[in-house]
Amino acid sequence: MQAKKSLGQNFLINDTIIQKIVSLFVCDENDLIMEIGPGKGALTKYLAKLPAKVVCIEIDKDMERYLNYPDVEVIYDDILNIDLAKLVQNYNYHNLYIIGNLPYYITSPIIEKILKAGLNASKMVFMVQKEVAQRFSSGPGHREYGYMTIFINHYCEVKKEFLVPKNNFKPVPKVDSAIISLNLKNHPDLPEEFWQFLKECFSHKRKTLKNNLAKYDKAVVDEVLHSHNLDLAVRAEELAEEIFIELYEKCKGK
Ligand code: SAM
């Protein structure tokens, strides 16, 4: 069967790597594993051997013929359309683990959706593009630092596990990949309005932060930047999360 490029279908074909990914979970029969995008079952066939219950979400019904494993349930739907918090309520479990060689065209929306759903997962393991892994583990002042860096690091400790060169997939993608693991950390709840504000801060990469925030009171933005001894021409990628929170609160009069 032809892989569907539009669905990000690059299938992992190296068994040693597959087993290395699955071994990042230690689970028992009381646990639930959610796999995103099982495809032809590269990971699923090993997940099925674990004592935990496995539930997969796959958009492509054509994969049905590959995904017949005892005690593995497959939901054929777009993960972005599923109410994940409601879905996990259907199961009795102790720990939840989430895994997926993610379709790269929607890596960030999937991770955003999972983290905003408040699933309280014990561990998440994802395959992402190598560059995306770098972006997620970057810090202020680095070129790769952006909205998703702040978002993901607000919720999780991000660990780069290992690289997966592109020749381990069929068809061979254009870029190398990396495995990352995410462990939830204690984090203050921030309203959706904050995340929208943060997107505005990063909306034009080449513009200064002040220009991206032109619709807010200029004096308020200047005051916050001054109070942190920051140049008024600073760009968003130089600031840490706390300063964005302060800017948000002052710009929105909170
Ligand atoms: N896990 C398999 C592997 O490692 O070989 C396949 C990984 S492939 C990179 C991504 C998988 O995600 C494909 O099977 C694709 O059909 C599925 N997919 C793409 N978009 C999806 C979506 N919106 N919801 C659920 N699955 C999706």
Number of H helices, E strands in the chain: 10, 9
Q: Looking at the structure, tell me whether residues 226 and 134 fall in a common domain.
A: no
CATH code (residue 234): 1.10.8.100
Q: What is the pLDDT of residues 160-175, one digit of tens each?
A: 999 999 999 999 999 9
Q: Looking at the structure, tell me whether residues 129 and 198 fall in a common domain.
A: no
What whole-number distance in Å separates Cα of residue 125 and Cα of residue 161? Answer: 9
Contact 177, 12 (CB under 8 A): no
Q: Looking at ligand 1, which residue's alpha carbon is closest to its atom 1?
A: 38
CATH code (residue 27): 3.40.50.150
Instruction: Answer whether 41 contacts ligand 1 (Cβ < 6 A).
Output: no
Which residues are CB-contacts of 198 (< 8 A; sequence separation ≥ 6)? 147, 150, 151, 244, 248
Q: Looking at the structure, tell me whether residues 235 and 115 fall in a common domain.
A: no
Which residues are CB-contacts of 151 (< 8 A; sequence separation ≥ 6)? 112, 115, 195, 198
Which residues are CB-contacts of 154 (< 8 A; sequence separation ≥ 6)? 187, 190, 241
The domain containing residue 155 runs over which residues?
5-184
pLDDT for residue 229:
95
Ligand 1 centroid – CA 220 distance (Å) = 45
Q: What is the pLDDT of residues 3-25, one digit of tens each?
A: 999 999 999 999 999 999 999 99
pLDDT for residue 1:
80
Instruction: Answer whether 110 contacts ligand 1 (Cβ < 6 A).
Output: no
pTM over 0.85: yes
What whole-number distance in Å separates Cα of residue 164 and Cα of residue 40? Answer: 18
Segments in the chain below pLDDT 50: none
Q: Looking at the structure, tell me whether residues 56 and 162 fall in a common domain.
A: yes
Q: Looking at ligand 1, which residue's alpha carbon is closest to its atom 4?
A: 12
Contact 212, 204 (CB under 8 A): yes
